[in-house]
Amino acid sequence: MSDGPPSEQPGPLPIERADVDAAARRLAGVAHRTPVLRSTHLDELAGAEVHIKAECFQRTGSFKFRGAYNALASLDEAERRRGVVTVSSGNHAAAVALAARLFGVPATVVMPSDAPGNKRAATEGYGARVVTYDRYREDREARGRQVAAELGAVLIAPYDQAEVMAGQGTLALELFEEVPELDVLVVCVGRGGLMAGCATVARSVAEARGRAVEVVGVEPEASDDHRRSLAAGRRVGLDAVPRSIADGQLATIPGALTFAVNQRRVDRFVTVADDEIVATMRTLFERVKVVAEPSGASALAAVLAGTVARPGSRIGVTLSGGNIDVERFRSLTGG
Amino acid sequence: MSDGPPSEQPGPLPIERADVDAAARRLAGVAHRTPVLRSTHLDELAGAEVHIKAECFQRTGSFKFRGAYNALASLDEAERRRGVVTVSSGNHAAAVALAARLFGVPATVVMPSDAPGNKRAATEGYGARVVTYDRYREDREARGRQVAAELGAVLIAPYDQAEVMAGQGTLALELFEEVPELDVLVVCVGRGGLMAGCATVARSVAEARGRAVEVVGVEPEASDDHRRSLAAGRRVGLDAVPRSIADGQLATIPGALTFAVNQRRVDRFVTVADDEIVATMRTLFERVKVVAEPSGASALAAVLAGTVARPGSRIGVTLSGGNIDVERFRSLTGG
């Protein structure tokens, strides 16, 4: 295990509630206001009220559209004309591609060569150019900066950027608007961008109503860098690139900006095993009738594993995305 | 091919728009108001605006809850105390079971012995008793009447009953409230109960706005008894029990009451092949992120096959149910 930079100091954080509110205004009428799903069966399994924010129905099939569009919308005209570049394993790629198309600017996406085929196809389908790198041998951030420099384009970070985190936070804003009395908010965590936005909203809601919200992050077992980092009080990196079916959550170290936020605003991180994720994808299919990709099912998997629930509590859960093709679903559920 | 009874005469029909409005009042706050889903991808495939009424999110996982609950709600206290009996291949069974539970009355369901296991489990899960019969050797209606007589219970017909048809029609009521300018309404057809309710609403909407709605019914190729009956001008039965993956649409002859309505209010019936249904289930999974059982996907399958769409038109489509387990989905999509 290698260490990251020293712990962030207390002080101003990269985003506050006002940034999320501003993002919500930019996203109004552009992003979908996704439904909050309920299921008697899930409530019985969890022993609690489960409210699922179904971002599988978001444009491009995941929450990533929120942050990508907010980042594009925050650029000025001259910046946008230069075009945008980003680095992503998939969902952020498609999100930037669509956001760029909506603004009429060219987008280039640096993707790992083993990214799921459906995610690459979606990204190209939205008109972006795809450049690949080797997830296990090359540094993704360096590759992104290199491509951006070559093209003279603006880099849209997949998580470590204030506008991206603030955009993702609009998910929690909508969820609390619909269910103001949530006791617990459970969020899937990769590099921590969604969590940073959502935790910021949860803290602000808790303060306004004078009653706490427990904020819980969920990581795959093999990729528990946030859990370790929170325990250590500083960003801690994993020695090896984790392998998990949750391809949207394969982080080796928390983002610098996301961790600055999450260290102060998240109560705890828990982990789920791949087989718990698959079981949850099945439950979502059969009982809720929705499609979740592995990363999309991980937060609910933690709830159903009993890691999170307090009996009778009201739990908000992210279902972060639904981008999985039938072949991969068949393969994962075939064991 | 055997013939049914002679054609119904013009005259009063079993249900009118006012019956559907009354059902909507009974269902308010009990049935879910299911979402109407859109997909840019589907619009491109269809060359039209496709609006999907997603009854996979209805209570018990299909539209059948609407009719079953309306039928139970229309009984008086003395009738309900006797308990209810119904005959169903699955979704109507679970719907009656839940409706009966909500009213606190006992329910017995006569199911074919080869009904999908998940549907039988759901029915029993809602507290109903299940009695089986042989779909290929016994007469389902006779078996239902026999069980009802033995128990002294009230028979809730799965389709040929005014309250059931009117309840199903609330689906179209909600769809037209959300998309008033629909040009075409495409409805899956088994025995025709959903269609009778929906066609009644469509005709009333068309009259009120002074512009036609084309009403199209969709049957599996092997079970085209409505198409044949409409062409013949009277109920025409099939010689053999049809075999199709669309287990909710395996009708041999239209219902007497449903056909009386549909003969006057439906423009045409079209058919879809099983492989078109499977392809549509895949598309719904990958692009819309929702789960459809085969019967649930058949109406959209007809739209995507080009059988229904007029370029640029606004098409309302039923996604009638999502009750399929992962194993069956894997098996159907494995070909």
Q: In this model, does residue A158 exceed pLDDT 70?
A: yes
Q: What is the mean pLDDT of residues A1-26?
A: 77
Q: What are phi and psi of B292, to 5 degrees?
A: -120, 135
> Domain end: B155, B181, B203, which one?
B155
Same-domain status, B92 and B170: no
Same-domain status, B195 and B51: yes
Q: Which residue of A has its CA nearest to B37?
A: A57
Same-domain status, B196 and B235: yes
List average pLDDT for each run of 10 residues in chain B, which is 335 residues long.
47 95 98 94 94 97 98 96 90 95 96 84 92 86 92 95 98 98 97 97 98 97 96 95 90 95 98 98 97 98 90 95 96 89
Q: In this model, does residue A88 exceed pLDDT 90?
A: no
Same-domain status, A43 and A189: yes
Mention every residue, 6+ apart, whose C-beta is less than 8 A from residue B292: B56, B280, B281, B284, B300, B319, B321, B322, B324
Contact A97, A74 (CB under 8 A): no
pLDDT band at A4 (very low <50, low <70, confident <90, very high): very low
Distance from CA of A257 to the nearest CA of B (A): 32
* Location of structure tokens 């196809």: A121
Smallest CA-to-CA distance from B184 within B65, B50, B20 is with: B50
Query: Annotated catalytic residue: which of B62, B244, B295, B320?
Result: B320
> Domain end: B139, B155, B171, which one?
B155
Cβ–Cβ below 8 Å for A289 and B334 = no
* Location of structure tokens 């496709």: B50
CB burial string B46-69: b at 16+ within 10 A, e below: bebbbbbbbbbbbbbbbbbbbbbb
Q: In this model, does residue A138 exceed pLDDT 90?
A: no
Cβ–Cβ below 8 Å for B57 and A286 = no
Same-domain status, B56 and B73: no
Distance from CA of A56 to the nearest CA of B (A): 6
**Would residue B64 show up in a list of annotated catalytic residues for this protein?**
yes
Type of residue at B247: D
Q: Where does residue A260 fall: left (phi above 0), alpha (psi -120 to 50 degrees), or beta otherwise?
A: alpha
pLDDT more than 70, % of chain A: 97
The pLDDT mean for chain A works out to: 93
**Would residue B53 show up in a list of annotated catalytic residues for this protein?**
no
Same-domain status, B186 and B207: yes
Chain segment A259-313, per-residue pLDDT in tens: 999 999 999 999 999 999 999 999 999 999 999 999 999 999 999 999 887 888 9
Distance from CA of A116 to the nearest CA of B (A): 13
Same-domain status, A171 and A285: yes
- Report the domain count for chain B: 2
Cβ–Cβ below 8 Å for A118 and B282 = no
Same-domain status, A281 and A198: yes
Task: Compute how many other C-beta atoms are within 10 angstroms of the C-beta atom of residue B139.
Answer: 11
Query: Annotated catalytic residue: which of B53, B62, B64, B88?
Result: B64
CATH of the domain at A119: 3.40.50.1100
Distance CA A181, CA A27 (A): 24
Chain segment B135-170, per-residue pLDDT in tens: 888 888 889 999 999 999 999 999 999 999 999 999
Same-domain status, A85 and A117: yes
Chain segment A49-73, per-residue pLDDT in tens: 999 999 999 999 999 999 999 999 9
pLDDT more than 70, % of chain B: 97
ipTM confidence:
0.92
Q: In this model, does residue A221 exceed pLDDT 80?
A: yes
Q: What is the pLDDT of residue A194?
A: 98
Same-domain status, B86 and B202: no
Q: What is the pLDDT of residue A5?
A: 45
Query: Annotated catalytic residue: which of A53, A64, A223, A298?
Result: A64
Residue-number span of the structural domain to which A254 is assigned = 2-63+162-333
Q: Which residue of A has its CA nearest to B35?
A: A35
Smallest CA-to-CA distance from A163 within A25, A61, A29 is with: A25
> Domain end: A102, A126, A155, which one?
A155
Give residue ranges of B with CB < 8 Å to any A CB: 35, 37, 56-57, 61, 118, 282, 285-286, 289-291, 322, 324-326, 329-330, 333-334
Residue numbers in A near B35 (CB within 8 A): 35
Q: What is the pLDDT of residue A220?
A: 97
pLDDT band at A9 (very low <50, low <70, confident <90, very high): low
Indicate which of A278, A286, A329 best probes the interface with B, i.e. most B CBs within 10 Å of its own CB. Answer: A286
Cβ–Cβ below 8 Å for B118 and A330 = no
Q: What is the mean pLDDT of residues A309-334?
A: 94
Residue numbers in B near A61 (CB within 8 A): 289
Q: What is the pLDDT of residue A3?
A: 45
Same-domain status, A139 and A172: no
Same-domain status, B28 and B40: yes
Chain segment B165-176, per-residue pLDDT in tens: 999 999 999 999
Give the three-class secondary structure for B139: coil
DSSP state, residue A287? I
Give the three-class secondary structure for A312: coil
Q: Which residue of A has its CA nearest to B122?
A: A287
Query: Annotated catalytic residue: which of A62, A223, A244, A320?
Result: A320
